Amino acid sequence: MTTRLLFVCLGNICRSPSAENIMNHLLQSRGLTHRVSCDSAGTSSYHIGSPPDRRMAQAARQQGIDLVGQARQLQVADFEAFDWILAMDDDNYRDILRLDPQGQYTHKVKKICDFCRHHTDTEVPDPYYGGAEGFRYVIDLLMDACEGFLDELLQETVPNDV
């Protein structure tokens, strides 16, 4: 059975598509693409249909990761469609939970920084209005968080002999 992950930020052009593509990169390098699938979305409708931000894509390319995808907005149906919904920051986390007023899916919603091993950040900063260094930092932070999440996920779901 495939575990389905959804990464969520505000506009779905910087942080969440980076997390999606970093996770896909990690899955491919570990031969696990058949076990986990990824998508991303934004809590706003600002950039629907847009590709990932070119500055974010450049920072990712420097780490050997291509950013692909088209921005879309988070939908209530995503709660059923995904096993994990991973928010980039506190505002995203709250906005996601607002779509679930009954709290039926709260157990699926986590903050990606909760899985960092090396960084102490509690949120992924939005690099949109900053310089190149901010984009590079977000890639490094998300690499740490995605590796931590994947390792934790594998401990829960994959037998020891895989």
Provide the annotated active-site residues: 9, 15, 126
Bridge partners (DSSP) of residue 39 are 6
User: What does the buried/exposed string (b/e) look like for 23-39 if buried means 16 or more CB atoms within 10 Å of the residue's CB?
Assistant: bbbbbeeeebeebbbbb
Give the tokens for residue 1: 């059975």
